[in-house]
Structure 1
Amino acid sequence: MESPRGAALLLATLFSVLLATALGQEGCRCQNNRRTVECVQVGSTCRCKSYGSNVTVDCATLTSKCLLMKAEVQGTKTGRRSKPQTAYVDNDGIYNPDCDSKGNFKAKQCNGTTTCWCVNSAGVRRTEKSDSDITCNEVVRTSWIIMEMKHDDRNSPLDQATLERNIGDSLYQRYKLDPKHISVMYENPYITIELRQNASAKSFADVDIADVAYYFEKDVKEDPVIQDSTLNVMVAGEPLKFRDAVIYYVDEKPPEFSMKRLTPGVIAVIVVVVLAIVAAILVLVFTRRKRGKYEKAEIKELNEIPRERNS
């Protein structure tokens, strides 16, 4: 028969285990995503639900852009080089996206009414806005992202090799993006960061360049998603500050925009330019005609001069 002292010790041990488990679950904190709830420690990994959805995220890596945008919208409601011709900027900005069970963007997005459109894997619109009957057969992958920005004014240009190396290292350390997907170019004061990652080059363990670009954009705007730290690129012993960031997206297939995408102002400018060109052509044609008539009249008068002399 077990002694009362032994039974008490067993109960105390069991209570300690249960208490430690409960404290471990409650104390879990998602370092890579500050917009999470209901965090639970599973082994060495913290798993939480992304705010605004029921999708569970692994806090050891980046959260998908789709879930981050959805969490941000829900939170808001409650609280130098030539570009490829197919590169385009996200003119629509943040919206409340429709994500699949893995947190990725669904091919078709709608604004909650009857207006819908197709997006790429970065959630950026790649078609005209249409009605709910629009067909989006696939999520076209964004395989190339170009991020252009400036650094703050300095007395002297930065060392190009050092700058490019330090930015690449910072993106790897902060976002865990393999350096093979990163290239950096510098032409004082412009900095261009290119992220390239097609479907065949992305391994299962790789973070997606669309997610990295979104995290980077939030860091530049000083609204970081990662908790307790900020993007810190050191050059010549000083932190480098970025500004005026513009992000271009290049998909594996060209976007399907048409003239309907242009704003009335842009269309008006195009019309004015076309009319100016037509007017210039008409002026040139009439000028040549008048010049031709003048030259013919001049030749005719010259031919009549000998006749006048002989008369």
Structure 2
Amino acid sequence: MKMWIFAVLAALAVGASAQDCSPCATMKWATCDGPPCSCYLLVGNGVKQLIDCKALIPKCFLMKAEMYRAGKALNIRSIGRKQHETAIVDNDGIYDPECENDGKFKAKQCNGTDVCWCVNSAGVRRTDKGDQSLKCEKLVETHWIRLQLTHKEGPTNVNKDNLKAAIATELNKRYKLDPSLVKDVQEPPTMTMKHLTGGIIAVIVVVVLAVIAGLLAVFFFQKRQRKYKKAQPREMEQM
């Protein structure tokens, strides 16, 4: 009798652990199953990359999953991100990277070809492209990330402190990031006539007047041309 009860309890425990395998909170593309419950990303045909859904998914794993999904015509992130003028410009776009076991980018990337380059810890190219003999001694760490976000226009001005707290809360909720990592929130510069100097205003006025004068000159010239009629040709009389 005791053995039967123990078997029932064990079965219930296994069933509970299987039901407790909830979707990954930090990655919507992940698949979670068990027991024991584990989550993974498909980064190739039949290639599963285990991930930790309690932490931020490494960018290298994310890019590999995105390349795989793009090849399968599945939904991917929206590309076309606008970078800050002081950031390293990534003109190569997304590529299929080589990752370390812990999710870091390998210092040298070749994207399955004979053309290679060195990258930083964000996966962005930092050297000119070369061949397979290119040496990338170590992965250059990137410590600061600048995000440019926009929000819908509201009836009143946004409070910077409240906005900073809301962004920190959302990043912590969605990506399990420490809220203290959000250092500052800056408002974008706005272009208004109040901030223009007298010299700039004078130049704008001169340009506008020159355009108006040019349009008037063309108008009166065309009007004057219409007053003249084409003379009828006459045959010369015989001498």
TM-score range (shorter-chain normalised) is 0.5 to 0.7
1:141 corresponding residue in structure 2: 141
1:116 corresponding residue in structure 2: 116
**Separation in structure 2 between the aligned mates of residue 60 and residue 101 of structure 1, nearest angstrom:** 17
Q: Deviations over 1:231-256 (max 9, x none)?
A: xxxxxxxxxxxxxxxxxxxxxxxxxx
- SS of 1:24's equivalent? helix
**Separation in structure 1 between the aligned mates of residue 158 and residue 189 of structure 2, nearest angstrom:** 9
Task: Assess, with a 3 A threshold, how the Cα gap between structure 1 residues 115 and 164 changes in structure 2: closer, same or farther.
Answer: same
TM-score normalised according to structure 2 size: 0.62
In the TM superposition, what are the counterparts of 1:264-283 in structure 2 within 5 Å? none
**Separation in structure 2 between the aligned mates of residue 40 and residue 146 of structure 1, nearest angstrom:** 38
Q: Deviations over 1:183-207 (max 9, x none)?
A: 23232578xxxxxxxxxxxxxxxxx
**Separation in structure 2 between the aligned mates of residue 188 and residue 143 of structure 1, nearest angstrom:** 23
1:178 corresponding residue in structure 2: 178
Tell me whether 1:34 sits opposite 2:28 in the alignment. yes
1:240 corresponding residue in structure 2: none
RMSD: 2.8
Instruction: Verify the 8 A CA contact 1:106 1:139 in the aligned structure 2.
Output: yes
2:128 corresponding residue in structure 1: 128
Higher RCO (C-alpha 8 Å, min separation 6): 1
Q: Deviations over 1:42-97 (max 9, x none)?
A: 5xxx5323322444222222211111111121122224xx854xx22333222111
Which consecutive unaligned segments of at least 5 residues does structure 1 have?
1-5, 191-311
- SS of 1:147's equivalent? coil
1:234 corresponding residue in structure 2: none
Task: Assess, with a 3 A threshold, how the Cα gap between structure 1 residues 135 and 41 changes in structure 2: closer, same or farther.
Answer: same
Instruction: Verify the 8 A CA contact 2:25 2:53 in the aligned structure 1.
Output: yes
**Separation in structure 2 between the aligned mates of residue 122 and residue 41 of structure 1, nearest angstrom:** 34
**Separation in structure 2 between the aligned mates of residue 172 and residue 189 of structure 1, nearest angstrom:** 28
Instruction: Verify the 8 A CA contact 2:116 2:131 in the aligned structure 1.
Output: yes
TM-score normalised according to structure 1 size: 0.49
Q: Which has the higher strand share?
A: 1
Instruction: Verify the 8 A CA contact 2:51 2:57 in the aligned structure 1.
Output: yes
* TM-superposed deviation, 1:38: 5.7
The amino acid that maps onto 1:121 is S
**Separation in structure 2 between the aligned mates of residue 37 and residue 174 of structure 1, nearest angstrom:** 17
**Separation in structure 2 between the aligned mates of residue 76 and residue 145 of structure 1, nearest angstrom:** 25
* TM-superposed deviation, 1:106: 0.7
- SS of 2:106's equivalent? coil
Task: Assess, with a 3 A threshold, how the Cα gap between structure 1 residues 37 and 156 changes in structure 2: closer, same or farther.
Answer: closer
% identical equivalent positions: 38
- SS of 2:166's equivalent? helix
2:204 corresponding residue in structure 1: none
- SS of 1:67's equivalent? helix
Which consecutive unaligned segments of at least 5 residues does structure 2 have?
74-83, 191-239
- SS of 2:185's equivalent? strand
Instruction: Verify the 8 A CA contact 1:117 1:128 in the aligned structure 2.
Output: yes
1:93 corresponding residue in structure 2: 93
